[in-house]
Structures are given as structure tokens and as C-alpha cells.
């Protein structure tokens, strides 16, 4: 659908969502973003909902500035998916063993590997530059220098919340692996360090929302943030690579002869240097993926509604972006108060997954309708495949 432009803002708010259907607190956040003097433009995705500082589902283009809270604390969070040579009929009727093997290979929740994963032993993983990547750890903010051991052991781990590792089937019964995760605790600590640092800067004292505090180009604070930001984004990508490699190894052992196509991967909490309207800008996608012309992307729904593989159409009005998922329709606390384990079991029928109280806040009804979200952005992406999960691993 074409976007709706919200009137009364300093810069245009282009929304691929019905403004009347967005909670008032989120609309206030969007208007606050446009009041920042550095903002060049704002695009709002159909999965938009309230977040810290900036809404989830925001694409903010800024000139010579970036807001660390508008990136979020899970720097580089995103998705990876791969199509396998397996077919639905290759899978066993009882998928509990496969789920158990995946959980054994990829730690979930607060768990981590007992020792750092030896990336040299992961089939197909490119490892030539891993040493150089870790050499830059000592260049990060001093506040995290004592976290290297933990960061190394969390490399290749899923985390909790809405992060997941799934076995899915597409419309032609091909088997896919899909996962969602980010930069784990090291990304969170770096983000929180810089968010607090930005809040104290003199130029941020009179902002409409202190959570939108920015760093400005040409300052030591901006240089330090960019260094840590891009390292954390790289950590997140590598984290997903290691997990996908581990998951593929599980599949190889369970199904000898299985083959894998090229992985599809995309961030959806990150910053990129791009150019629009003749201006060089820093584009912050918080809960949004890049959807440049031909770009392959991944838009997940919930534990039982599947995932869409999409191809970007390159719409500059959205700053070449699309939604990152279905988006929540209710908070985690409200979901826990509204639904029961029985509701979760009913809504995830046919999916081999956790169905206990620990994941009730991830129940499908707590999320927006993924089909409606995808249908609202037909000028941003085209659907390549719709995947339905048969196994879902959560922390």
C-alpha cells in the first residue's frame, strides 16, 4: 500500500501503517524524533510499536548525527535463513529429538558455551579474519574490557525473549533453517554505555526526549560510538553465522547428505551510511531491514505464524527499508496476564516447541498479524517464500 504522511511534523513522517491504529505513546515518539534538528527524514514500518526513545519499526535518516537509543540495546540484532536440500517427507514424525539436538548445539537463554567455539571446525564458515576481529576488542570502551571471556563464550548463542532457532517448511515442502539473534550481552553493555554518555552531553539537555540524545559527527564521542557500534554489528553477524553453522552440522549428522544453499542474512537494529536526496546520511533502522532493489530479507511472524523471505523493491521513500517482523500488539506483561499455558499449547499446535509459562509472553496472539504486515508493504518488498515452522527453539 502507499504510505500515509502524518501532517504537522518538522520533517515528513511517512507511515506504512494506519496512524489511527498506532498507540498514542508511539505516535508521540515519532513526532519527537522529527523535532531533532539533525533528522533528514523518518519512515515508519507497518509493525511499528512503542520502544525506548524511538519506536520499534522506525527508519531514521540523520545528517551528521546518530542516536544510540534509536538503534536499541541489541545492536545488530537480525535474522539468518538457509534453504536445505531436505523435503518435508525426510523429517521424522516425532521432531523432539531434532529439537533436543539443536538445543544441545546452540545454548539458549542465559546459557553460553563452556569454552569458545572453535570456528575452524564449523563446516563452511569463513574464518580468515576472525583473529583480526577479536584483536579489536581491546579498542572498545574500557567499561567492557573485562567482558572478553564472556563475549567469546556467548559467540554462537541464541539468548532469550523473541530470539529463536527454527526448522521450517516452505510452500513447496522444502526444509529451511531460520534464526533470530543479536550481539548478546556485549552489545547490550556497549549500547547502555553510550546511551548514558550521550544523555550527559550539553547539546542534548533540551531535547523533547532525553532518550533521543545524539552524538554529533566530528566529536570524540561520535568516533568512539561508531567504533563500538560497527564492532557490535559485526559481532551480531558472526554470532548468527556460528549458530547457523552449528545448526547445519546438527542437520548433517541427523540427515547425511543434506546440502545447504547460500545463507540469507540481514540486520534489523543497526546503522548504515547511505545517500538520499543528494545528502549523505546515517540511517538508523530500529526494527527494520534494508530492502534495496534485489536485497533478500527475512520478516518473521511469531512462534506459529511463520516467516517471509522477501526481495526488496528499492523504494527511496522508505529509505530502502521494510519491516523486521510482525511487531508486538501487547506488552510482555500484558501477555502473561492475558494468556495461559493452555492458550500457548493451542496456538502452537503442530509446532515442536516449548509450551510452558516461561514463553507465554511469546504467544502468537501477542503479535500483530504477519500477513497483514506483509500486505501493507507491497511497494517495499515482494514475497519470495512463506515458511511455516515445525520446530521452534526458544530460550
Does the annotation place 303 within a ligand binding site? yes
pLDDT value, residue 131: 94
- Could you give the residue numbers annotated as active site? 324
pLDDT value, residue 1: 61
Does the annotation place 165 within a ligand binding site? yes
Tell me the pLDDT of the chain averaged across its residues: 96
Does the annotation place 146 within a ligand binding site? no
The rounded distance, in Å, linking the Cα atoms of 332 and 311 is 31
pLDDT 10s digits, 323-364: 999 999 999 999 999 999 999 999 999 999 999 999 999 999
The residues, ordered by sequence, that sit 6+ positions from 229 with a Cβ below 8 Å of its Cβ are 66, 68, 71, 75, 190, 194, 271
Region 35-59: mean pLDDT is 94
pLDDT 10s digits, 18-41: 999 999 999 999 999 999 999 999
The rounded distance, in Å, linking the Cα atoms of 352 and 354 is 7
Does the annotation place 302 within a ligand binding site? yes
Q: How is residue 9 written as a grid cell?
A: 511534523
Q: How is residue 89 annotated by DSSP? A: G
Does the annotation place 162 within a ligand binding site? yes
The rounded distance, in Å, linking the Cα atoms of 171 and 264 is 18
- Domains along the chain with CATH numbers: 4-329+367-394 (3.90.1860.10)
Region 237-242: mean pLDDT is 98
pLDDT 10s digits, 137-156: 999 999 999 999 999 999 99
Amino acid at each position: 500500500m502507499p504510505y500515509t504522511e502524518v501532517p504537522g511534523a518538522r520533517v515528513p513522517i511517512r507511515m506504512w501503517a494506519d496512524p489511527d491504529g498506532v498507540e498514542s505513546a508511539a505516535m508521540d515518539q515519532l513526532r519527537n524524533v522529527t523535532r531533532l534538528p539533525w533528522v533528514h527524514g523518518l519512515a515508519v514500518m507497518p509493525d511499528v510499536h512503542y520502544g525506548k526513545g524511538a519506536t520499534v519499526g522506525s527508519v531514521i535518516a540523520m545528517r551528521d548525527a546518530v542516536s544510540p537509543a534509536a538503534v536499541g540495546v541489541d545492536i545488530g540484532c537480525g535474522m539468518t535463513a538457509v534453504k536445505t536440500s531436505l523435503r518435508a517427507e525426510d523429517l521424522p514424525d516425532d521432531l523432539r529429538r531434532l529439537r533436543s539436538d539443536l538445543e544441545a548445539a546452540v545454548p539458549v537463554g542465559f546459557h553460553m558455551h563452556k569454552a569458545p567455539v572453535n570456528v575452524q571446525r564449523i563446516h563452511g564458515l569463513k574464518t580468515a579474519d576472525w583473529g583480526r576481529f577479536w584483536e579489536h576488542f581491546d579498542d572498545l570502551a574500557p567499561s567492557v574490557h573485562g567482558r572478553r571471556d564472556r563475549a567469546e563464550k556467548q559467540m554462537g548463542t541464541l539468548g532469550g525473549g523473541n530470539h529463536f532457532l527454527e526448522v521450517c517448511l516452505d510452500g513447496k515442502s522444502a526444509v529451511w533453517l531460520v534464526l533470530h539473534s543479536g550481539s548478546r550481552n556485549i552489545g547490550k553493555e556497549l549500547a547502555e554505555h553510550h546511551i548514558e554518555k550521550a544523555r550527559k552531553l550539553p547539546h542534548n539537555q533540551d531535547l523533547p526526549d532525553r532518550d533521543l540524545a545524539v552524538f554529533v559527527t566530528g566529536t570524540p564521542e561520535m568516533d568512539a560510538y561508531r567504533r563500538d557500534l560497527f564492532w557490535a554489528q559485526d559481532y551480531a553477524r558472526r554470532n548468527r553465522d556460528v549458530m547457523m553453522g552449528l545448526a547445519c552440522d546438527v542437520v548433517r549428522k541427523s540427515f547425511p547428505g543434506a546440502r545447504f544453499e547460500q545463507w540469507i542474512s540481514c540486520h534489523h537494529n543497526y546503522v548504515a551510511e547511505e545517500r538520499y536526496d543528494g545528502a549523505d546520511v546515517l540511517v538508523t533502522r530500529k526494527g527494520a531491514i534494508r530492502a534495496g532493489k534485489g536485497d533478500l530479507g527475512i520478516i518473521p511472524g511469531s512462534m506459529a505464524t511463520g516467516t517471509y523471505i522477501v526481495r526488496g523493491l528499492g523504494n527511496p521513500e522508505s529509505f530502502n527499508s521494510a519491516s523486521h517482523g510482525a511487531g508486538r500488539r501487547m506488552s510482555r506483561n500484558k501477555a502473561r496476564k492475558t494468556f495461559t499455558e493452555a492458550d500457548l499449547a493451542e496456538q502452537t499446535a503442530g509446532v515442536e516447541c516449548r509450551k510452558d509459562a516461561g514463553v507465554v509472553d511469546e504467544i502468537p496472539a501477542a503479535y500483530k498479524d504477519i500477513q497483514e504486515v506483509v500486505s501493507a508493504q507491497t511497494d517495499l518488498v515482494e514475497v519470495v517464500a512463506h515458511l511455516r515452522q515445525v520446530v521452534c527453539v526458544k530460550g
